Amino acid sequence: MNVYNPLFNEENILQDTRFAEAINLFNSGEWYLAHDLFEEIWHETNGLPRITIQGILQIAVAQVHLESNNIKGAMILYGEGLGRLKRPDSPHLGLNIKNLCEIVELRLHSLQHQNNVKELAVPVIIKNIY
C-alpha cells in the first residue's frame, strides 16, 4: 500500500510484511532504514495505531541522532517517543511496548545526567507471545 488508506488499522498493520521487516531492521540497529519503513506505514495508518507507530519511529530517529553525537536531538526524540508509547490509549500492536519504554527511559535518564549510554541496552522491539 503506497497510498493513504483510511482502513489501514491495527489488524492490517499486524498482517503487513513491512511491519515485520521494520521491526527486524530496528532490532538489527538499522535505525534509519527502520525509521523510513515505519514512517511509510505511519503515513498509511489512521487512528490510535498511528500514535504507536510514530512513537517507535521517533525512538529509531533518536538512535540515529546518537550515532551522530546529537545528544540533544536524541533526548528530545526519546521523550516524544515515550510520550506517545506511554499514552494509555496507544495500542501495543502485538509488541512488548513496556519493555521498549523501560530501555528507552533508562537511556534518556542517562543522557539527561550526561552519562554514557554505550553500556546500556539498545532499544529492541519484542513481539508479545500469546
Q: What is the pLDDT of residue 46?
A: 87
Helix, strand and coil in the chain, % to nearest 5? 60, 0, 35
Predicted TM-score (pTM) of this structure: 0.91
Question: Residues of the chain whose pLDDT is less than 70?
Answer: 1-8, 130
Going from the C-alpha of 47 to that of each of 7, 105, 126, the distances in angstroms are 9, 25, 23
Q: What is the pLDDT of residue 3?
A: 47
